[in-house]
Amino acid sequence: MTNHWNDVQHADAILIMGSNPAENHPISFKWVNEARSKRGAKLIVVDPRFTRSAATADIYARLRPGTDIAFLGAMISYAIDKNRINEEYVRNYTDAAYLVNPDFQGPVDLDGAFSGLTGAKYDKATWSYQMDENGIPKMDPTLQDPMCVFQLLKKHYARYTLKKASEITGCDVKALEAVCDAYTSTFKPELSGTIMYAMGTTQHTYGSQNVRAFAVIQLLLGNIGVAGGGINALRGESNVQGSTDHGALFHILTGYLKYPKANQPTLAVYNEQNTPKNNDPKSLNWWGNTPKYMASLMKAWWRDADLETAYGYLPKVDDGKNYSYLPIFSAMANGDVKGMFAWGMNPAVGAPSSKMIRRALAQLDWMVCIDLWETETSAFWQKEAGVDPASIKTEVFLLPAASSVEKEGSISNSGRWCQWRYKAIDPVGHAEDDLWIINQIVTRTKALYAKEGGAFPDPIANLTWNYSKGGMDPRINSPQPREVAKEINGYFIVEKEIEDKVKKEIKKFKPGDMVPSFAMLQDDGSTVCGCWVYCGSVSDTENKMMKRDPADPTGLGVFPNWSWSWPVNRRIVYNRASVNAEGKPYAKDKPVLWWSGLKKVWVGDIPDGNGDPDAILPFIMVPHGRGMLFAAGMSDGPFPEHYEPLESAVRNTFSSKQVSPVIMRWDEKAKEKTCNPIIAEGCIAATFGSEEIKDFPIICSTYRVVEHWQTGQMTRWLPWLAEMVPNQFMEISEELAKEKGIVNGQKVRITSARNVEGIEVQAMVTKRLKPFTIQGKTHHMVGITWHFGYKGLVTGGNANDLTPFIGDPNTMIPEYKAFLVNVEKA
């Protein structure tokens, strides 16, 4: 979230699209309701299903799953046509005026593609700005040049008329127009609109572009950086924000530092390639600090090694190769991955085409699961999974983990608040906390390599690992989360004098002093910092994540002394965009911060960058400092363009590109049978125009209910929650139920191209779903939860046994939200 939960109360319009907070983030709705009752905010819900959030909305619009860009494209077009844009903001704070490379072409010229497409990949050379002699993007402040970003954007979305969008999405034109009208009304500087999204937005083969479309809208309306605005991802797990911050993904290190590649052999080359350059004196270009953060991380991991040696210890990934979640399981199916650790994760239910996932697990030599209960993953070899245990050679360990009240440490919520949890009781039985288990593996592996030697032992032998009171003996040591928190924050390891440019004074630090802010981190190896965005969370005197002061000095629900928010306790990021060139807030009744001309200081939230008003550009994380309407960093185009889901029975009427041209197509290999049988059976898809599609004419989407969580591993074992929702069910419209002769409560079988035996579930005939009329044809839709599997107090059909094995080209997030099935009475 650019903003935070309490901030939703300041919105004048709330767009809930691709999420269902009333059901999945229920307490957040307190702040949605607050905005409605206090400010008269309009609540808009756009969803294929009439959800619990939709039930409370002022305006509800139904769209066919996977057509968000057509819908949002129409909103962008509407805003431009009606001149509902915050002009001053767009001109000063976005890249609207920048001139783009004259050779750039888009879908209007190239039948649905952008310039540079060869095979399934873009050469992005033309996706660039024209630079002046000083290396600053050329601008046309009048926004009239046909190659300026604004004109290109206008041209791109001119095709997205309300009528066209209605034909594609199946949404009634009047509802679509009502949504556009209500939401774009927040273009007025004193008003703000917030977007609350979740996996309904992201889980598509163009999920990242769905989010980009939100970004374009919010920038045009001037809704980023302001109170009651922003782009707010509603995180589904209590610490999925923190685990991402701490680099638990293949493509990043901690603090979103880019992961080193094989063609970056030295830290010097890494820094050279990953430190963006900028010549605009008004742009802070924050990633220009990359070498400081990288050096401090290397010192946190290998204290006694010099920086280049430490960098050499890091494993390198091949340039262009993807090591994400889906590739893990295709590599596993091929027998290339032989061992796996699963830390509180349940791919046997949660991963797409999960039947294939379970077959892939059986190829492992060994697997270690760390969990609170027995999960389907840890039990994939059992009879309940529909397999013969004798045929599975995998050695499996299930380690009992401590629950959240049986240990201490911090977690970070969607709004980036890092909140400390205290230990209430000892772990149950023989359970131990994850840090204890990690510590055991590290100290024992260190000892093993010291004793026996082995492949490239140095990074293990030299790994700095001193969180324990009991020294290195794994039998007695107990790692301390508070010690780890200090390393994450960072401290000095040599004496250092640093000039504080803001206060214009010299600060002296001695070894062991906590680094007060990431502005003080050094690139010479004199500071340690495990995760630069958390620098400032622990000081010499206190752990700020423990703060529980409920005071709200501005009365705006900021609570600056309740926990600690990264970065540097800033509660709303890009907040310099909430004020004009004089430092005056656009919205006077809900100022995030303002410039006190008398004292020459910023008052309110921690500003994004210091300096006088207008001294810096507000989007400090992009090299040129302006919010990007044109995003060259994307794999699939600088502007969002509509494509159909991989499995869709609807032709893309925008272009001949039926699906995104740059997605990784396991389904094609599966069709050609140029892969092993596990992948061939698990990745097959009912694509447009294929033979398979005739057997699977119904759109299916997956989602959650308030009583359960994710794969059910933390809810189906709880008697209260199991009793509340004891069965898997499929929602089906009255129209389709009638056609199929299905009555409420009846057992039905749902099948997909990947699972022709299908899963058996109960039918729930409901008005919440309606058929869509697209291009004159009726398209039905069903929906199921993905909470069920074969373990737990209550069990049921696993939705992901049906879902397609395909991902977004930027993130590889699977397309769980729109695929094709068939439904029959069981």
Partner 1 sequence: MDITRRGFLKIAGGTLAAAGFGTGVGIKPAFAMPRKIQYAQEVPTICPYCGVGCGIIAHVRNGKVINTEGDPDHPISKGALCPKGGSLYQIANNDKRNKKVLYRAPGADAWKEVEWDWALEKITANLKKTRDEGFKLTNANGEVVNRCESIAAIGGAALDNEEVYALTKMNRALGLVYVEHQARI
Instruction: Give the one residue of 110, 143, 173, 317 binding partner 1; rule: CB under 8 A.
Output: 317
Verify binding: residue 15, partner 1, rule CB under 8 A.
no
Q: Taking CB under 8 A as the criterion, which residues in 260-279 touch partner 1?
A: 262-263, 265
CB of 650 to partner 1, least distance (A): 25
DSSP character for 256? G
Residues in 368-387 that interact with partner 1 by CB under 8 A = 368, 370-374, 378, 381-383
Select 143 or 793, whichever has its Cβ closest to partner 1. Answer: 793
Which one among 24, 77, 648, 810 touches partner 1, defined by CB under 8 A? 24
Q: Are 200 and 47 in contact (CB under 8 A)?
A: yes
Judged by CB under 8 A, the chain residues 117 through 146 that form the site for partner 1 are none
Q: Which two tokens stand for residue 812?
A: 């590889």
Interatomic CA distance for residues 224 and 628, integer angstroms? 11
Residue 593 backbone phi and psi in degrees, to 5: -160, 165
Residue 698: partners with Cβ closer than 8 Å, 6 or more residues away: 736, 780, 781, 782, 820, 821, 822, 823
User: Counting contacts by CB under 8 A, is residue 256 touching partner 1?
Assistant: no
Question: Segment 705-724, which members bind partner 1 (CB under 8 A)?
Answer: 706-710, 714-715, 717-721, 724
From 67-75, 633-641, 671-679, 813-821, span contacting partner 1 (CB under 8 A) = 813-821
Is 769 a binder of partner 1 (CB under 8 A)?
no
Nearest approach, Cβ of residue 181 and partner 1 (Å): 30
320 binds partner 1 (CB under 8 A): no
Q: Among 105, 256, 280, 562, which residue interacts with partner 1 (rule: CB under 8 A)? A: 562
Rg (CA), the chain: 27
Tell me what percent of the chain is helix, strand and coil, each rounded to the nearest 5: 30, 20, 50
Q: In the bound complex, what is the minimum distance in angstroms from residue 484's beta carbon to partner 1?
A: 4
Q: Choose which of 304, 452, 505, 691 interacts with partner 1 (CB under 8 A).
A: 452
- Residues 230-249, interacting with partner 1 (CB under 8 A): 234-249
Contact set for partner 1, span 43-102 (CB under 8 A) = none
Of 132-140, 479-487, 570-578, 645-653, the window that binds partner 1 (rule: CB under 8 A) is 479-487
Residue 125 corresponds to which amino acid?
A
State the number of binding residues for partner 1 (CB under 8 A): 171
Rounded to a whole number of angstroms, the minimum distance from the CB of residue 68 to partner 1 is: 19
Tokens matching residue 643: 């494509």
Q: Which residues contact 697 (CB under 8 A, 6 or more apart)?
A: 649, 779, 780, 820, 822
517 vs 440: CA distance, rounded Å: 32
Among 185, 309, 334, 445, indicate the residue that binds partner 1 (CB under 8 A). 445
Considering the complex, state which of residue 69 and residue 418 has its C-beta at the smaller distance from partner 1: 418
CB of 196 or CB of 764, closer to partner 1: 196
347 binds partner 1 per the rule CB under 8 A:
yes
| 427/397 Cα distance (integer angstroms) | 19
From 107, 312, 638, 783, residue interacting with partner 1 (rule: CB under 8 A) = 312
Nearest distance from C-beta of residue 520 to partner 1, angstroms: 20
Using rule CB under 8 A, residue 389 touches partner 1: yes
The verdict on whether omega for the bond into residue 389 sits within 30 degrees of 0, i.e. cis, is no
**Candidate segments 188-196, 503-511, 654-662, 807-815, binder of partner 1 by CB under 8 A:** 807-815
What b/e readout covers 360-389, taking b as 16+ CB neighbours within 10 angstroms? Answer: bbbbbeebbbbbbbebbbbbbbbeebeeee
CA distances from 807 to 42, 47, 348, 518 (A): 34, 21, 18, 35
| Interface map 184-223 toward partner 1 (x if CB under 8 A) | -------------------x--------------------
- Give the 3-state DSSP-derived string for 37-54, with helices as H, strands as E and coil as C: HHHCCEEEEECCCCCCCH
> Coil, strand or helix: which one is 201?
helix
Do residues 378 and 388 make contact, with C-beta atoms less than 8 angstroms apart?
no
332 binds partner 1 (CB under 8 A): yes
The DSSP output letter for 325 is H
Output 401 or 700, the one with its CB closest to partner 1: 401
> Of 72 and 199, which has the nearer Cβ to partner 1?
199
Cβ closest to partner 1, residue 531 vs residue 736? 531
What is the rounded CA–CA span in Å between residue 539 and residue 520?
A: 13
Q: Contacts with partner 1 in 486-505 (CB under 8 A)? A: 487-488
Angle between helices 68-81 and 173-184 (to 10 degrees): 60
CA distance 737 to 733: 6
Q: 788: which 2 tokens?
A: 């069920």
Pick 530 or 585: Cβ nearer partner 1: 530
Q: Tell me if 637 contacts partner 1 by CB under 8 A.
A: no
Q: Which of 404, 358, 330 is nearest to 669 (CA)?
A: 330
CB of 728 to partner 1, least distance (A): 18
Using CB under 8 A, pick the residue from 340, 629, 683, 764 that binds partner 1. 340
Smallest separation (angstroms) from partner 1 to the CB of 24 = 7
Q: Among 121, 548, 694, 825, indicate the residue that binds partner 1 (CB under 8 A).
A: 548
Of the candidate spans 54-62, 92-100, 164-172, 809-817, the one that interacts with partner 1 by CB under 8 A turns out to be 809-817
Q: Work out whether 459 is an interface residue with partner 1 (CB under 8 A).
A: yes
Angstrom distance (rounded) from CA 486 to CA 429? 30
d(CA 267, CA 525) in angstroms, rounded, equals 12
Bin 228: left if φ > 0, else alpha if -120 < ψ < 50, else beta. left
798 binds partner 1 (CB under 8 A): no
Shortest gap between Cβ of 749 and partner 1 (angstroms)? 26
The CB-of-376 to partner 1 minimum distance in angstroms stands at: 14
Residue 181 sits in the site that holds partner 1 (CB under 8 A): no
Interacting span for partner 1 (CB under 8 A) from 89-97, 162-170, 215-223, 337-345:
337-345
Q: CB of 348 within 8 A of CB of 369?
A: no
Question: Residue type for 596, please?
Answer: S
Is 113 or 314 the residue whose CB approaches partner 1 more closely?
314
The residue among 210 and 412 lying less far from partner 1, judged by its C-beta, is 412
328 near partner 1, judged by CB under 8 A: yes
Nearer to partner 1, 182 or 435 (CB): 435
Rounded CA gap, 545 and 411, in Å? Answer: 9
Choose between 1 and 579: whose C-beta lies nearer to partner 1.
Answer: 1
In contact, 284 and 516? CB cutoff 8 Å: no
Using the minimum distance from each CB to partner 1, give the nearer residue, 619 or 786. 786
Residue type, 288: G
The per-residue b/e assignment along 421-460, b for 16 or more CB within 10 angstroms, e otherwise, is: beeeeebeeebbbebbbbbbebbebbeebeeeeeeeeebb
Selected from 417, 491, 509, 630, the binder of partner 1 by CB under 8 A is 417
How many other C-beta atoms lie within 10 A of the C-beta of residue 137?
Answer: 21
Of residues 503-532, those binding partner 1 (CB under 8 A):
530-531
Options 100-108, 347-355, 519-527, 620-628: segment touching partner 1 (CB under 8 A): 347-355
Nearer to partner 1, 89 or 709 (CB): 709
Q: Is 318 in the site for partner 1 (CB under 8 A)?
A: yes
Stretch that binds partner 1, among 76-84, 97-105, 484-492, 501-509 (CB under 8 A): 484-492
Sign of CA dihedral 332, 337, 340, 345: negative
